Each structure stands twice: as structure tokens, then as C-alpha cells.
Amino acid sequence: MPVVHGVNLSPFVRKVRVALTEKGIAYELKPVLPASDEFEPMNPLKKIPVYEEDGFAVPGSSVIIAYLERRQPNPPLHPRDDRQFAQALFLEEYADTKLTDATLPFVVENVIKPKLLGGAPDLAALDTARAAQGPVFDYLESRLGTHTWAGIIGGRFSVADIAIGCPFVSLQQGGGVLDAARWPKLARYIRVLHSRPSFKGLIEEEAASLRG
């Protein structure tokens, strides 16, 4: 059975797990902490996730999902239309960078450091993330139309939705709030995304692991 190396609170690990669930591919999650030397042969960047299939290691969430798309094309996560494909990949990149910068510190500073690592939260990092949210959430709000709740690209679920949905789980786990009055479309879109079985199952599993 394929293995996902990583820990469940990582939004990038979550991305791959949602994609695997959407494609109906069974896998095992093997906990590994990033940045460890023993992990380096599998990923010279020493980052999680790594996907391993019969001893073949694929590092990086976007690379893994592109690989899965070739291995098991249905249901598709990359839009078939060339321009929608480009748009989806750009939103994936945007979510993995700008959106992650604006959300991930909430779970790192409010949960992982104090509860799991026994450290104090870096309040400046939280302020920086909070300040980054306005333009990022405005941009995502502007990309949503009235019929795109099920998929930000053409109303069809794709890798862009997985990539955007995952950092918002981290925001919520860390006590951050998405203001539905200021970003009504985005708030509704995230609610719909997180109610998909692929997201819902992981959100519940991660909440249970945080409760201990």
C-alpha cells in the first residue's frame, strides 16, 4: 500500500490526503518530522509530505498530486481545458504560498508550539499573518462567482479547491476566523469545501488527535 510520510497537521500533507481520498486510493500515513537527517534521502528539501509507492519516493504536494493524476486520472483533479488547467495550477501555487503564510502561523503559534512542543507563541508572527490576510482573502473573494461553490475553476472541483481548502483548516485549528461579513463568498465556499467527505473526515480526525 502507498505511504504518505508526514504529520496530519501539515496543510501540505492534508492536501495530498484529500487528493488521495477524492481518487479513492488507499494509503497509510507514516508520521515523520520534517527537517530530520534520516528523511533527507527521500526529500533533499527535508520537507513533508513525501508519497512512497513500491519504494519510489515522490516529494512535494503539488508534484505528488500531478503524479497521482497520471497514475489514476479519474476523478480528474486537473481541469481538462488548457486555460482552466493553468488557472488551477496558479491558484494551487497561490494557496501554497501567500494563503499559507496568512493562515499556517495560527496553528503553529497557537497549537503546535504551546501544546505539542512546549514553547511560547511568537506573537509577532501572528500579527504578520493577520496583516497578510486582507489582500489574500480579497483576491480569493474576487475569484469566486455565484456558481463556483463546488469548484473555484469553472464550478468543478479541482486541485485548486484542495489547495485553498487546506490552509483554512489550519486557520480554524489555530482559532483564526474568516469574517463572513467581509468575505461572504469565500466563507460560503470554504464551508461547502469543508463539508465534502474528503475534507470532513480529515478535519474530524485531526480534531480528535488534538484532543489527545
Distance CA 6, CA 94 (A): 22
- Label residue 84 exposed, middle or buried (CB < 10 Å: 0-12, 13-18, 19+): middle
Based on the shown chain and the rule CB under 6 A, indicate whether residue 62 belongs to the binding site for ligand GSH. Answer: yes
Find, among 160, 130, 133, 186, the residue nearest to 65 by Cα. 160
Distance CA 28, CA 51 (A): 10
Pull the grid cell for residue 83: 486555460
Residue with smaller CB distance to ligand GSH, 23 or 185: 23
Find, among 104, 81, 82, 116, the residue nearest to 163 by Cα. 104
Residue nearest to ligand GSH (CB): 34
Binding mask 95-134 for ligand GSH (x = CB under 6 A): -x--------------------------------------
Binding residues for ligand GSH, total number by CB under 6 A: 12
Residue 49: what residue type? P
Residue 207, CA distances (Å) to 1, 167, 172, 211 in order? 25, 15, 10, 6
CB of 185 to ligand GSH, least distance (A): 26
Based on the shown chain and the rule CB under 6 A, indicate whether residue 48 belongs to the binding site for ligand GSH. Answer: yes
Residue with smaller CB distance to ligand GSH, 159 or 187: 159
Based on the shown chain and the rule CB under 6 A, indicate whether residue 46 belongs to the binding site for ligand GSH. Answer: yes
Pull the grid cell for residue 100: 499559507
Based on the shown chain and the rule CB under 6 A, indicate whether residue 61 belongs to the binding site for ligand GSH. Answer: yes
CB of 97 to ligand GSH, least distance (A): 9
CB of 48 to ligand GSH, least distance (A): 4
Residue with smaller CB distance to ligand GSH, 12 or 157: 12
Residue with smaller CB distance to ligand GSH, 94 or 183: 94
CB of 36 to ligand GSH, least distance (A): 9
CB of 184 to ligand GSH, least distance (A): 29
Based on the shown chain and the rule CB under 6 A, indicate whether residue 12 belongs to the binding site for ligand GSH. Answer: yes
Distance CA 48, CA 127 (A): 26
Neighbours of 179 (CB within 10 A): 11
Tell me the sheet residues that pair with 57. Answer: 52
Q: Which residues bind ligand GSH (CB under 6 A)?
A: 10, 12, 34-35, 46-49, 60-62, 96
